[in-house]
Amino acid sequence: MANKKKTTIKDIANVLGITPSAVSKALNDHPRISDKTKAAVLQIAKNLDYQPNHLASALRKGKSNLVGVIIPKANSHFFSSIIEKIEDVLNAKGYNVIIAQSNESYEKECKSIDALLYTQVDGIIASMANETVKLDYYEKIKSKGIPLILFDRGENDLNVDYVGIDDYLSSQMVIEHLVAQGCKRIAHIAGFSHTRIYKNRIRGYRDALEKFGLPIEDSLIVESNLRIEDGRKIMKQLLELKDRPDAVYAAGDYAALGALQIMQEHNIDVPNDIALVGFSNEPFTSLVTPSLSSVEQHSEQIGQIAAETLLKRIETNNKNVSLNKLILQPELIKRASSRKLQ
């Protein structure tokens, strides 16, 4: 119960009658230390249940071996699987991961950044909150020379490494698929266009419609936070149009789910009356009825690449490596909600 005093390098040194510095070197497998001493040190370390003091070594080395990850919300398969992968990669290299949730709030995001900087993380991997427009806090990270990698929700202006999917292409694929199903009036439940990824999805949607000679109407494009309630509200709006859409492409699965609910409440046949496609391929998409078509973003890959890119930055002291923008191919998962012609 009582906090026993911890074993230090010095204790080991005393037992063996050598200096702490020799012990330190033995533990770090320094080439100039004899195998005999190394073995002895290891033995005593084990006997005394020695645990290195990370704080002391971090201070001395000027490196905390801590990495911060900022995400909007862990509560989605997309982000939680990215985190899992990031942890895998970084843990293997001796780094620990601190996760901070912004809850889509700019203020919380700033606080998290401050907290991470204060904790002296060696690097930060982040996906920006929906709310975030000002980039001052991210500039702060950069100005301190701390490696920063963005994923999914990034900003070009920041000029930092980025991993994400080709959002423009995603929209193209979705529209192409819906057109193939015979849809002619396709609405878009969009994310806020001030966020790059959502802007690109909107662009892709518009360009694809144009390519297929379909109408582009402002009433068919509604921006929101893409939560379930947003999907519900917007779908209601869409149903009130005198000229209803025959397909809905939502830039997020939760919004798509909300839309689906409303359609079911209105006894609309999905996909035959209105087809529906979501985004992110959250696990629930395959579970609802009808199952939801969605865009798979290969989250594990994103996590892996983000982590590896960060490691490279850290190892090269954030220099010499040219800017890395990695855009992965999305994959459209076609399910019942958009398959009219069986």
Partner DNA sequence: TACATTTGTTTCAACGTTTGAACAAAAATA
Partner DNA sequence: TATTTTTGTTCAAACGTTGAAACAAATGTA
Instruction: Indicate whether 52 belongs to the interface with DNA (CB under 7 A).
Output: yes
Give the tokens for residue 288.
């609802």
CA–CA separation, 70 vs 112, rounded Å?
Answer: 8
Of the residues 25, 111, 199, 298, which one makes contact with its own copies according to CB under 8 A: 111
Partner from its own copies, DNA, none contacting 120, C-beta within 5 to 8 A by type: its own copies
Q: How many residues bind its own copies (CB under 8 A)?
A: 53
Closest to 253 measured CA to CA, from 219, 227, 289: 227
Instruction: Indicate whether 284 belongs to the interface with its own copies (CB under 8 A).
Output: yes
- Whether residue 260 contacts residue 276, with contact meaning beta carbons closer than 8 Å, is answered with yes
Positions in 317-336 near its own copies (CB under 8 A): 317-319
Instruction: Indicate whether 45 belongs to the interface with DNA (CB under 7 A).
Output: no
CA–CA separation, 211 vs 173, rounded Å?
Answer: 12
CB of 265 to its own copies, least distance (A): 10
Name the DSSP class of 138: H
Distances 48 to 2, 23, 25, 51 between C-alpha atoms, Å: 17, 14, 18, 9
The nearer residue to DNA, 23 or 277, going by C-beta atoms, is: 23
Residue whose pair of structure tokens reads 């005093």 in the numeric block: 5
- Whether residue 284 contacts residue 224, with contact meaning beta carbons closer than 8 Å, is answered with no
Partner from DNA, its own copies, none contacting 98, C-beta within 5 to 8 A by type: its own copies
Q: Of 39-47, 83-91, 130-138, 331-339, which segment contacts its own copies by CB under 8 A?
A: 83-91
Which strand (E) or helix (H) includes residue 136? helix 136-143
- SS3 sequence of 114-172: HHHHHCCCCEEEECCCCCCCCCHHHHHHHHCCCCEEEECCCCHHHCCEEEEECHHHHHH
**Rg (Cα) of the chain, in Å, rounded?**
26
Instruction: Indicate whether 211 belongs to the interface with DNA (CB under 7 A).
Output: no
Instruction: Annotate 128-157 with b (16+ C-beta within 10 A) or e (fewer).
Output: bbbbbeeeebbeebbeeebbbbbbbbbbee
CB of 48 to its own copies, least distance (A): 13
The binding track of 58-77 with respect to DNA, each residue x by CB under 7 A or -, is -xxxx---------------
Q: Of 14-22, 109-117, 205-213, 220-228, which segment contacts DNA by CB under 7 A?
A: 14-22
Instruction: Indicate whether 9 belongs to the interface with DNA (CB under 7 A).
Output: yes
Instruction: Indicate whether 182 belongs to the interface with its own copies (CB under 8 A).
Output: no
Partner from its own copies, DNA, none contacting 3, C-beta within 5 to 8 A by type: its own copies
Residue whose pair of structure tokens reads 């998962």 in the numeric block: 333
Mention every residue, 6+ apart, whose C-beta is less than 8 A from residue 35. none
The nearer residue to its own copies, 100 or 179, going by C-beta atoms, is: 100
Positions in 42-61 near its own copies (CB under 8 A): 51-56, 58-59
Instruction: Indicate whether 21 belongs to the interface with its own copies (CB under 8 A).
Output: no
Helix or strand or coil: residue 315? helix
Instruction: Indicate whether 27 belongs to the interface with DNA (CB under 7 A).
Output: yes
Instruction: Indicate whether 316 belongs to the interface with its own copies (CB under 8 A).
Output: no
Instruction: Indicate whether 28 belongs to the interface with DNA (CB under 7 A).
Output: yes
Q: Tell me which residues touch DNA (CB under 7 A).
A: 6, 8-10, 17-22, 24-25, 27-28, 30, 32-34, 36-37, 50, 52-53, 56-57, 59-62
